[in-house]
Amino acid sequence: MKNIILASASPRRRELLEQIGLEFTVIPSHAEEIITKELPGEIVEELSRQKAEDVARDVEDGIVIGSDTIVWQDGRVMGKPHSREEARDMLRRIQGNTHSVFTGVTVIVKDREAAEKTPEGTVHTFFCETKVHVYPMTEAETEKYLDSGEPMDKAGAYGIQGKFAAWVSGIEGDYNCVVGLPVAALWQVLRHYDSSSEEQRVTK
């Protein structure tokens, strides 16, 4: 497979790619996030594409993966909180309730030989949605979770793979979508550029 580049500094996305056995390089995107869409699926697709394109500009040959995750409830986006107060507000909104997590993924395949014909590369963009059901939380539980520091770098102020698992009563959809990268759906795109997978399909 071509050189794979993850356009994200997220340790969770890195762990998910490692989990499915991919070798890759991390080059975080520093693109400014600009939202022009209104629907949550379109928002995360737009943001993931901005990140992938930012890194792909400096790649001649390889596969760049950009991703973005938001929590969506009552027609509002919840990204990463900027303060303890904002994180507290987010937790109060999702506790005892159901919300959706949307993750957008953009894969840009750059080919040096085809660069003159398609300098922007081949682009694949998609999103997934997973519904998350949360048990009620007491004020003391909310404050203790805030004290852990876990909410501050995560969309919606919680990490399903961390301490917040104590309050997740169930999900509908792909768990990894909530973590930050739906690797099964991603692999369905990447496998078309994996020569070993192609050989296996041909010989069957």
Active site members: 68
In single-letter form, the type of residue at position 190 comes to L
Rounded CA separation 204/202 (Å): 6
CA distances from 192 to 27, 56, 106, 114 (A): 23, 19, 15, 17
Helix (H) / strand (E) element for 113: namely none
Q: b/e for 122-161, b at 16 or more Cβ within 10 A? A: eebbbbbbbebebeebeeeebeebbeeebbeebbbbbbbb
**Which phi and psi (to 5°) does residue 5 adopt?**
-125, 125
- Look up tokens 């993750």; give the residue: 103
Q: Which residues contact 54 (CB under 8 A, 6 or more apart)?
A: 7, 29, 30, 31, 66
For residues 124 and 67, the answer to whether their CB atoms sit within 8 Å is no
**Rounded Cα gap, residues 116 and 138, in angstroms:** 59
